[in-house]
Structure 1
Amino acid sequence: MDLQISVFLLFILFTAGHSLRCYECMSLTGSCADQKLKTCPSGSSQCMSLTTVAQFGDNSVKVKIKDCVPACLSGSMNFGIIKVTISCCNSDQCNLQDAPDPNPNGKKCYYCDGKSCSKTVSCSGNEDHCIKATETSGGQSAVGKGCASKSMCDATASVPGVARISCCEGNLCNGAQSVSQSFLFLCCSLLSYFLLH
Protein backbone atom coordinates (compact mmCIF):
# COMPACT_ATOMS: atom_id res chain seq x y z
CA MET A 1 0.00 0.00 0.00
CA ASP A 2 2.82 2.40 0.85
CA LEU A 3 4.43 1.75 -2.55
CA GLN A 4 1.21 2.68 -4.37
CA ILE A 5 0.89 5.94 -2.43
CA SER A 6 4.55 6.78 -3.09
CA VAL A 7 4.16 6.14 -6.83
CA PHE A 8 0.97 8.21 -6.92
CA LEU A 9 2.63 11.14 -5.10
CA LEU A 10 5.64 11.00 -7.44
CA PHE A 11 3.30 11.04 -10.44
CA ILE A 12 1.47 14.10 -9.08
CA LEU A 13 4.77 15.86 -8.33
CA PHE A 14 6.20 15.34 -11.82
CA THR A 15 3.04 16.06 -13.82
CA ALA A 16 1.89 19.08 -11.81
CA GLY A 17 5.13 20.92 -12.46
CA HIS A 18 5.05 20.42 -16.23
CA SER A 19 3.50 23.11 -18.37
CA LEU A 20 3.29 23.05 -22.13
CA ARG A 21 5.85 25.24 -23.91
CA CYS A 22 5.04 26.65 -27.35
CA TYR A 23 6.64 29.07 -29.75
CA GLU A 24 5.01 32.48 -29.96
CA CYS A 25 5.11 35.05 -32.75
CA MET A 26 2.92 37.31 -34.85
CA SER A 27 4.29 38.48 -38.13
CA LEU A 28 2.68 40.64 -40.81
CA THR A 29 5.71 40.18 -43.07
CA GLY A 30 5.34 36.42 -43.57
CA SER A 31 8.33 35.40 -41.46
CA CYS A 32 8.45 34.31 -37.82
CA ALA A 33 12.21 34.83 -37.53
CA ASP A 34 11.87 36.36 -34.04
CA GLN A 35 9.70 33.64 -32.48
CA LYS A 36 10.12 33.10 -28.75
CA LEU A 37 9.49 30.09 -26.58
CA LYS A 38 6.93 30.63 -23.83
CA THR A 39 5.33 28.61 -21.07
CA CYS A 40 1.63 28.30 -21.77
CA PRO A 41 -0.86 29.60 -19.23
CA SER A 42 -3.17 27.27 -17.38
CA GLY A 43 -5.96 26.08 -19.64
CA SER A 44 -3.87 26.02 -22.80
CA SER A 45 -3.39 22.46 -23.95
CA GLN A 46 -2.15 22.87 -27.52
CA CYS A 47 0.36 24.76 -29.62
CA MET A 48 -0.85 26.38 -32.84
CA SER A 49 0.78 27.61 -36.02
CA LEU A 50 -1.41 29.62 -38.41
CA THR A 51 -0.63 31.07 -41.83
CA THR A 52 -3.04 33.40 -43.63
CA VAL A 53 -2.42 34.70 -47.15
CA ALA A 54 -4.69 37.48 -48.45
CA GLN A 55 -4.58 38.69 -52.06
CA PHE A 56 -5.65 42.28 -52.79
CA GLY A 57 -5.29 42.87 -56.53
CA ASP A 58 -1.58 42.54 -57.33
CA ASN A 59 -0.58 42.76 -53.64
CA SER A 60 -0.51 39.88 -51.20
CA VAL A 61 -0.14 39.88 -47.43
CA LYS A 62 1.08 36.86 -45.46
CA VAL A 63 0.36 36.72 -41.72
CA LYS A 64 1.91 34.08 -39.46
CA ILE A 65 0.80 33.47 -35.89
CA LYS A 66 2.13 30.95 -33.37
CA ASP A 67 0.91 30.64 -29.80
CA CYS A 68 -0.57 28.53 -27.01
CA VAL A 69 -4.30 27.86 -27.36
CA PRO A 70 -6.93 26.11 -25.23
CA ALA A 71 -8.16 24.08 -28.21
CA CYS A 72 -7.20 23.92 -31.85
CA LEU A 73 -8.28 22.29 -35.08
CA SER A 74 -5.83 21.47 -37.87
CA GLY A 75 -7.03 22.14 -41.38
CA SER A 76 -7.29 24.75 -44.11
CA MET A 77 -9.76 26.89 -46.03
CA ASN A 78 -9.22 28.73 -49.31
CA PHE A 79 -11.69 31.47 -50.27
CA GLY A 80 -9.75 32.47 -53.39
CA ILE A 81 -8.53 35.80 -52.06
CA ILE A 82 -7.93 34.58 -48.49
CA LYS A 83 -6.32 31.26 -47.57
CA VAL A 84 -5.96 30.04 -43.97
CA THR A 85 -3.92 27.02 -42.84
CA ILE A 86 -3.85 25.95 -39.18
CA SER A 87 -1.60 23.30 -37.69
CA CYS A 88 -2.11 22.10 -34.09
CA CYS A 89 -0.05 19.89 -31.79
CA ASN A 90 0.15 19.08 -28.08
CA SER A 91 3.77 18.47 -27.13
CA ASP A 92 6.52 20.85 -26.01
CA GLN A 93 7.93 23.10 -28.75
CA CYS A 94 5.95 21.25 -31.43
CA ASN A 95 4.94 24.40 -33.35
CA LEU A 96 8.46 25.33 -34.42
CA GLN A 97 7.56 24.80 -38.10
CA ASP A 98 5.11 27.08 -39.90
CA ALA A 99 1.70 25.75 -40.90
CA PRO A 100 2.25 23.86 -44.16
CA ASP A 101 1.54 25.33 -47.60
CA PRO A 102 0.19 22.20 -49.29
CA ASN A 103 0.29 21.39 -53.00
CA PRO A 104 -2.80 21.47 -55.24
CA ASN A 105 -4.85 18.26 -55.07
CA GLY A 106 -6.81 18.53 -58.35
CA LYS A 107 -10.15 19.51 -56.78
CA LYS A 108 -11.82 22.81 -57.78
CA CYS A 109 -14.49 24.93 -56.08
CA TYR A 110 -16.17 28.24 -56.86
CA TYR A 111 -15.16 31.36 -54.93
CA CYS A 112 -16.48 34.92 -54.67
CA ASP A 113 -14.34 37.94 -55.52
CA GLY A 114 -16.74 40.70 -54.45
CA LYS A 115 -18.27 41.00 -57.93
CA SER A 116 -19.38 37.45 -58.71
CA CYS A 117 -19.10 33.89 -57.44
CA SER A 118 -18.28 32.30 -60.78
CA LYS A 119 -14.48 32.07 -60.55
CA THR A 120 -12.79 28.83 -59.54
CA VAL A 121 -10.02 28.14 -57.08
CA SER A 122 -7.74 25.10 -56.96
CA CYS A 123 -7.95 23.25 -53.66
CA SER A 124 -4.78 21.98 -51.99
CA GLY A 125 -3.65 19.47 -49.41
CA ASN A 126 -6.57 17.97 -47.49
CA GLU A 127 -9.13 20.49 -48.78
CA ASP A 128 -11.57 17.83 -49.97
CA HIS A 129 -14.83 19.81 -49.66
CA CYS A 130 -16.31 22.94 -51.25
CA ILE A 131 -17.78 25.41 -48.75
CA LYS A 132 -20.47 28.07 -49.02
CA ALA A 133 -21.15 30.53 -46.20
CA THR A 134 -23.99 33.06 -46.28
CA GLU A 135 -24.64 35.90 -43.87
CA THR A 136 -27.62 38.24 -43.99
CA SER A 137 -27.43 41.55 -42.15
CA GLY A 138 -29.50 44.69 -42.63
CA GLY A 139 -31.26 43.23 -45.65
CA GLN A 140 -27.99 42.54 -47.49
CA SER A 141 -26.41 39.15 -48.04
CA ALA A 142 -22.74 38.27 -48.12
CA VAL A 143 -21.64 35.00 -49.68
CA GLY A 144 -18.27 33.33 -49.32
CA LYS A 145 -17.26 30.23 -51.25
CA GLY A 146 -14.13 28.17 -51.57
CA CYS A 147 -12.30 24.99 -50.56
CA ALA A 148 -12.14 23.53 -47.06
CA SER A 149 -10.79 20.48 -45.31
CA LYS A 150 -13.36 18.16 -43.72
CA SER A 151 -12.22 19.19 -40.23
CA MET A 152 -13.04 22.84 -41.01
CA CYS A 153 -16.44 21.90 -42.44
CA ASP A 154 -17.26 19.90 -39.32
CA ALA A 155 -16.21 22.80 -37.07
CA THR A 156 -18.17 25.45 -38.98
CA ALA A 157 -21.52 23.72 -38.53
CA SER A 158 -22.47 26.37 -35.95
CA VAL A 159 -20.43 29.55 -36.36
CA PRO A 160 -22.20 32.41 -34.53
CA GLY A 161 -22.99 35.42 -36.73
CA VAL A 162 -23.02 33.44 -39.96
CA ALA A 163 -26.51 32.38 -41.00
CA ARG A 164 -25.76 29.33 -43.14
CA ILE A 165 -22.66 27.26 -43.83
CA SER A 166 -22.75 24.22 -46.06
CA CYS A 167 -20.07 21.91 -47.37
CA CYS A 168 -20.23 19.44 -50.22
CA GLU A 169 -17.96 16.95 -51.95
CA GLY A 170 -17.28 16.97 -55.67
CA ASN A 171 -15.76 19.47 -58.07
CA LEU A 172 -17.60 22.81 -58.26
CA CYS A 173 -20.45 21.50 -56.08
CA ASN A 174 -20.86 24.87 -54.28
CA GLY A 175 -22.59 26.54 -57.26
CA ALA A 176 -21.63 29.62 -59.27
CA GLN A 177 -24.66 31.83 -58.56
CA SER A 178 -24.87 34.65 -55.98
CA VAL A 179 -23.03 37.93 -55.67
CA SER A 180 -21.20 38.98 -52.52
CA GLN A 181 -21.91 42.37 -50.94
CA SER A 182 -19.51 42.30 -48.01
CA PHE A 183 -17.44 39.19 -48.63
CA LEU A 184 -14.38 40.42 -46.70
CA PHE A 185 -16.51 40.85 -43.55
CA LEU A 186 -17.76 37.29 -43.90
CA CYS A 187 -14.21 35.91 -44.27
CA CYS A 188 -13.06 37.86 -41.23
CA SER A 189 -15.97 36.43 -39.20
CA LEU A 190 -14.97 32.87 -40.12
CA LEU A 191 -11.28 33.51 -39.45
CA SER A 192 -11.93 35.09 -36.05
CA TYR A 193 -14.11 32.11 -35.12
CA PHE A 194 -11.21 29.71 -35.72
CA LEU A 195 -8.73 31.91 -33.86
CA LEU A 196 -10.88 32.48 -30.81
CA HIS A 197 -12.55 29.07 -30.39
Structure 2
Amino acid sequence: MKIQLAAVLLTVLVTQGFSLTCHDCNSLRGNCALNTTIECNRTIHSTCRSISVNTVIGASESNYLISGCGGCFGIVTFNSGLISHYVHTTCCSSNLCNDDVKPDIENSTLNGLECYSCYAVTEIGCNATTDKVKCRGQQDRCIHTSGHSTGVDPRTFVMKGCASDFLCRNPGALGLFRYEASAGFYCCKDGLCNLESRNFTRSTTPGPSTTSTASPSQLSSPLIMAVLLVFLRLVL
Protein backbone atom coordinates (compact mmCIF):
# COMPACT_ATOMS: atom_id res chain seq x y z
CA MET A 1 0.00 0.00 0.00
CA LYS A 2 2.81 2.40 0.91
CA ILE A 3 4.59 1.59 -2.33
CA GLN A 4 1.43 2.30 -4.34
CA LEU A 5 0.86 5.60 -2.53
CA ALA A 6 4.46 6.64 -3.13
CA ALA A 7 4.10 5.79 -6.81
CA VAL A 8 0.95 7.91 -7.07
CA LEU A 9 2.62 10.86 -5.33
CA LEU A 10 5.68 10.53 -7.56
CA THR A 11 3.48 10.50 -10.67
CA VAL A 12 1.67 13.65 -9.49
CA LEU A 13 4.93 15.45 -8.78
CA VAL A 14 6.45 14.48 -12.12
CA THR A 15 3.30 15.47 -14.01
CA GLN A 16 3.16 18.83 -12.24
CA GLY A 17 6.82 19.38 -12.90
CA PHE A 18 6.50 18.80 -16.64
CA SER A 19 3.12 20.48 -17.24
CA LEU A 20 2.15 24.11 -17.50
CA THR A 21 -1.35 25.59 -17.56
CA CYS A 22 -1.88 28.62 -19.78
CA HIS A 23 -4.82 30.74 -20.83
CA ASP A 24 -5.96 29.75 -24.31
CA CYS A 25 -7.60 32.31 -26.59
CA ASN A 26 -7.98 33.36 -30.22
CA SER A 27 -9.92 36.60 -30.54
CA LEU A 28 -10.60 38.70 -33.62
CA ARG A 29 -12.25 41.28 -31.39
CA GLY A 30 -9.10 42.10 -29.46
CA ASN A 31 -10.21 40.73 -26.08
CA CYS A 32 -10.11 37.40 -24.27
CA ALA A 33 -12.49 36.21 -21.57
CA LEU A 34 -9.87 34.02 -19.82
CA ASN A 35 -12.37 31.18 -19.44
CA THR A 36 -10.43 28.59 -21.44
CA THR A 37 -7.12 27.00 -20.48
CA ILE A 38 -4.67 24.60 -22.08
CA GLU A 39 -2.18 22.16 -20.60
CA CYS A 40 1.32 22.46 -22.07
CA ASN A 41 4.16 19.98 -21.93
CA ARG A 42 7.14 21.85 -20.48
CA THR A 43 9.55 19.68 -22.44
CA ILE A 44 8.08 21.24 -25.61
CA HIS A 45 6.90 24.67 -24.42
CA SER A 46 8.40 26.05 -21.23
CA THR A 47 6.39 29.29 -21.25
CA CYS A 48 2.89 30.65 -21.67
CA ARG A 49 2.57 33.15 -24.49
CA SER A 50 0.47 36.17 -25.40
CA ILE A 51 0.52 37.52 -28.96
CA SER A 52 -0.91 40.85 -29.98
CA VAL A 53 -1.44 41.49 -33.70
CA ASN A 54 -2.27 44.89 -35.15
CA THR A 55 -2.90 45.33 -38.87
CA VAL A 56 -3.65 48.59 -40.68
CA ILE A 57 -4.70 48.70 -44.33
CA GLY A 58 -5.51 52.22 -45.44
CA ALA A 59 -7.99 53.69 -42.99
CA SER A 60 -9.00 50.30 -41.53
CA GLU A 61 -7.43 48.89 -38.41
CA SER A 62 -7.90 45.63 -36.58
CA ASN A 63 -6.47 43.87 -33.53
CA TYR A 64 -6.14 40.18 -32.82
CA LEU A 65 -5.13 38.37 -29.64
CA ILE A 66 -3.69 34.88 -29.33
CA SER A 67 -2.70 33.19 -26.09
CA GLY A 68 -1.55 29.70 -25.26
CA CYS A 69 1.67 27.70 -25.09
CA GLY A 70 4.81 28.72 -26.95
CA GLY A 71 7.99 30.73 -27.16
CA CYS A 72 8.68 34.39 -27.88
CA PHE A 73 10.20 36.21 -30.83
CA GLY A 74 9.78 39.78 -29.60
CA ILE A 75 8.47 42.50 -31.90
CA VAL A 76 8.04 42.22 -35.66
CA THR A 77 6.88 45.47 -37.26
CA PHE A 78 6.68 46.83 -40.79
CA ASN A 79 5.21 50.05 -42.17
CA SER A 80 4.93 50.93 -45.86
CA GLY A 81 2.60 53.86 -45.30
CA LEU A 82 -0.46 52.20 -46.84
CA ILE A 83 0.00 48.92 -44.97
CA SER A 84 1.47 48.36 -41.54
CA HIS A 85 1.80 45.21 -39.46
CA TYR A 86 2.74 44.87 -35.80
CA VAL A 87 3.18 41.60 -33.91
CA HIS A 88 4.35 41.50 -30.31
CA THR A 89 4.83 38.38 -28.20
CA THR A 90 5.31 38.22 -24.44
CA CYS A 91 6.10 35.09 -22.44
CA CYS A 92 6.00 33.99 -18.80
CA SER A 93 6.74 30.72 -17.04
CA SER A 94 4.12 30.25 -14.30
CA ASN A 95 0.63 28.79 -14.47
CA LEU A 96 -2.01 31.12 -15.98
CA CYS A 97 0.45 34.00 -16.11
CA ASN A 98 -0.52 35.03 -19.67
CA ASP A 99 -3.58 36.98 -18.54
CA ASP A 100 -2.85 40.09 -20.60
CA VAL A 101 -6.20 40.46 -22.37
CA LYS A 102 -5.73 43.83 -24.07
CA PRO A 103 -4.09 44.51 -27.44
CA ASP A 104 -0.54 45.78 -27.15
CA ILE A 105 -0.18 49.35 -28.40
CA GLU A 106 2.73 49.91 -30.76
CA ASN A 107 5.15 52.66 -29.82
CA SER A 108 4.10 55.56 -32.07
CA THR A 109 6.99 57.84 -31.12
CA LEU A 110 8.88 58.94 -34.21
CA ASN A 111 12.52 57.82 -33.98
CA GLY A 112 13.99 60.18 -36.58
CA LEU A 113 14.44 57.60 -39.36
CA GLU A 114 12.70 58.17 -42.68
CA CYS A 115 12.43 55.63 -45.51
CA TYR A 116 11.06 55.45 -49.01
CA SER A 117 7.67 53.74 -48.99
CA CYS A 118 5.56 51.90 -51.51
CA TYR A 119 3.47 48.82 -52.09
CA ALA A 120 3.16 47.62 -55.71
CA VAL A 121 3.07 44.46 -57.79
CA THR A 122 6.17 45.32 -59.84
CA GLU A 123 9.52 47.00 -59.28
CA ILE A 124 8.66 49.54 -61.98
CA GLY A 125 5.47 50.48 -60.15
CA CYS A 126 7.35 50.89 -56.90
CA ASN A 127 10.13 52.96 -58.43
CA ALA A 128 7.57 55.30 -59.99
CA THR A 129 6.92 56.84 -56.59
CA THR A 130 9.19 58.63 -54.15
CA ASP A 131 6.76 58.61 -51.24
CA LYS A 132 8.32 58.55 -47.80
CA VAL A 133 7.26 57.27 -44.40
CA LYS A 134 8.50 58.30 -40.96
CA CYS A 135 9.57 55.37 -38.80
CA ARG A 136 8.40 54.93 -35.24
CA GLY A 137 9.26 52.90 -32.19
CA GLN A 138 11.46 49.88 -32.97
CA GLN A 139 11.34 50.44 -36.73
CA ASP A 140 15.04 51.23 -36.94
CA ARG A 141 15.71 49.93 -40.47
CA CYS A 142 14.62 50.80 -44.00
CA ILE A 143 13.54 47.79 -46.05
CA HIS A 144 13.15 47.02 -49.76
CA THR A 145 11.78 43.57 -50.49
CA SER A 146 10.05 41.73 -53.30
CA GLY A 147 8.62 38.30 -53.95
CA HIS A 148 5.15 36.82 -53.86
CA SER A 149 2.26 36.66 -51.45
CA THR A 150 1.10 33.33 -50.07
CA GLY A 151 -2.48 34.27 -49.19
CA VAL A 152 -5.80 33.49 -50.84
CA ASP A 153 -4.89 35.65 -53.85
CA PRO A 154 -1.19 34.98 -54.62
CA ARG A 155 0.57 37.71 -56.57
CA THR A 156 3.93 39.38 -56.84
CA PHE A 157 4.77 42.28 -54.57
CA VAL A 158 7.38 44.96 -54.03
CA MET A 159 7.44 46.80 -50.71
CA LYS A 160 9.48 49.61 -49.24
CA GLY A 161 9.16 51.10 -45.80
CA CYS A 162 10.27 50.93 -42.19
CA ALA A 163 11.00 47.66 -40.39
CA SER A 164 12.22 46.33 -37.07
CA ASP A 165 15.68 44.81 -36.73
CA PHE A 166 14.23 41.37 -35.99
CA LEU A 167 12.41 41.34 -39.32
CA CYS A 168 15.59 42.39 -41.12
CA ARG A 169 17.60 39.61 -39.50
CA ASN A 170 14.89 37.02 -40.16
CA PRO A 171 13.40 37.38 -43.66
CA GLY A 172 11.19 34.38 -42.96
CA ALA A 173 9.24 36.55 -40.52
CA LEU A 174 7.50 38.06 -43.56
CA GLY A 175 5.60 34.78 -43.59
CA LEU A 176 3.67 36.10 -40.60
CA PHE A 177 2.11 38.59 -43.00
CA ARG A 178 1.62 36.11 -45.87
CA TYR A 179 4.64 37.24 -47.88
CA GLU A 180 7.69 35.35 -49.14
CA ALA A 181 10.75 37.38 -50.10
CA SER A 182 11.72 35.15 -53.01
CA ALA A 183 13.10 37.87 -55.29
CA GLY A 184 14.86 40.35 -53.03
CA PHE A 185 15.31 41.40 -49.43
CA TYR A 186 17.43 44.33 -48.33
CA CYS A 187 17.61 46.31 -45.10
CA CYS A 188 19.76 49.33 -44.29
CA LYS A 189 20.10 51.71 -41.39
CA ASP A 190 20.61 55.14 -43.00
CA GLY A 191 17.70 57.41 -43.83
CA LEU A 192 16.19 56.97 -47.32
CA CYS A 193 18.68 54.21 -48.12
CA ASN A 194 16.09 51.85 -49.63
CA LEU A 195 15.37 53.59 -52.95
CA GLU A 196 16.87 51.00 -55.27
CA SER A 197 16.52 47.24 -55.37
CA ARG A 198 19.48 45.31 -54.01
CA ASN A 199 20.60 41.72 -53.99
CA PHE A 200 19.03 39.31 -51.55
CA THR A 201 20.71 40.19 -48.24
CA ARG A 202 19.85 40.60 -44.64
CA SER A 203 20.45 43.71 -42.55
CA THR A 204 23.78 45.24 -43.55
CA THR A 205 24.39 46.98 -40.25
CA PRO A 206 24.48 45.61 -36.72
CA GLY A 207 21.49 46.19 -34.51
CA PRO A 208 20.45 45.57 -30.91
CA SER A 209 20.49 42.00 -29.73
CA THR A 210 17.18 40.20 -29.36
CA THR A 211 15.93 38.07 -26.49
CA SER A 212 13.88 35.90 -28.81
CA THR A 213 13.53 32.25 -27.83
CA ALA A 214 11.69 31.08 -30.94
CA SER A 215 11.81 31.72 -34.64
CA PRO A 216 8.70 32.53 -36.67
CA SER A 217 8.95 29.18 -38.42
CA GLN A 218 8.44 27.46 -35.09
CA LEU A 219 5.18 29.22 -34.33
CA SER A 220 3.84 30.63 -37.55
CA SER A 221 0.88 28.33 -38.26
CA PRO A 222 -1.73 29.75 -35.85
CA LEU A 223 -0.32 33.24 -36.10
CA ILE A 224 -0.28 33.27 -39.91
CA MET A 225 -3.90 32.15 -39.87
CA ALA A 226 -4.70 34.93 -37.41
CA VAL A 227 -3.12 37.61 -39.59
CA LEU A 228 -4.88 36.18 -42.64
CA LEU A 229 -8.23 36.36 -40.85
CA VAL A 230 -7.53 39.95 -39.87
CA PHE A 231 -6.62 40.74 -43.47
CA LEU A 232 -9.82 39.18 -44.78
CA ARG A 233 -11.86 41.05 -42.19
CA LEU A 234 -10.39 44.33 -43.38
CA VAL A 235 -10.69 43.83 -47.12
CA LEU A 236 -14.00 41.94 -47.44
Shorter-chain TM-score bucket reads 0.5 to 0.7
Write the distance in 1 (CA, Å) between the matches of 2:17 and 2:218.
Answer: 30
1:174 to 194, 197, 201: 194
Q: How far apart are 1:102 and its partner, in Å?
A: 1.0
Query: Does the CA-based 8 Å contact 1:21-1:39 persist in structure 2?
Result: yes
RMSD (Å) for aligned C-alpha atoms? 3.5
Q: Cα deviation per residue 1:78-104 (whole Å; 9 max; x = unaligned)?
A: 233122222232423444334342122
State the secondary structure of the residue aligned to 2:135.
Answer: strand
Query: Does the CA-based 8 Å contact 1:49-1:95 persist in structure 2?
Result: no
Mapping for residues 1-197 of structure 1, pairs under 5 Å: 13=13, 17-29=17-29, 31-35=30-34, 36-41=36-41, 43-46=44-47, 47-55=49-57, 57-69=58-70, 71-80=71-80, 81-92=83-94, 93-97=96-100, 98-104=103-109, 105-114=111-120, 116=126, 118-135=130-147, 141-156=156-171, 161-163=180-182, 164-175=184-195, 195-196=219-220
Q: How far apart are 1:73 and its partner, in Å?
A: 0.7
User: What is residue 5 of structure 1 aligned with on the other side?
Assistant: none
Report which stretch shifted further, 15-24 or 127-136: 15-24
Number of matched residues? 169
Q: 1:131 to 1:33 in 2, by over 3 A?
A: same
Write the distance in 1 (CA, Å) between the matches of 2:66 and 2:173.
Answer: 24
Query: Does the CA-based 8 Å contact 2:78-2:164 persist in structure 1?
Result: no
Write the distance in 2 (CA, Å) between the matches of 1:132 and 1:168.
Answer: 9
Identity %: 28
Query: Does the CA-based 8 Å contact 1:110-1:176 persist in structure 2?
Result: no
Q: 1:102 to 1:24 in 2, by over 3 A?
A: farther
Q: Cα deviation per residue 1:157-177 (whole Å; 9 max; x = unaligned)?
A: 797842232211022222177
State the secondary structure of the residue aligned to 1:40.
Answer: strand
With normalisation by structure 2, the TM-score equals 0.56
Letter in 1 for 2:117: Y
Letter in 1 for 2:99: L
Letter in 2 for 1:52: N
State the secondary structure of the residue aligned to 2:24.
Answer: strand
Unaligned runs of 5+ in 2: 1-9, 150-154, 198-215, 222-236
Q: 1:107 to 1:194 in 2, by over 3 A?
A: farther
Q: 1:15 to 1:82 in 2, by over 3 A?
A: same
Write the distance in 1 (CA, Å) between the matches of 2:112 and 2:187.
Answer: 18
Unaligned runs of 5+ in 1: 1-9, 178-191
Q: 1:14 to 1:100 in 2, by over 3 A?
A: farther
Q: 1:66 to 1:145 in 2, by over 3 A?
A: farther
Q: How far apart are 1:133 and its partner, in Å?
A: 1.8
Q: 1:87 to 1:141 in 2, by over 3 A?
A: same
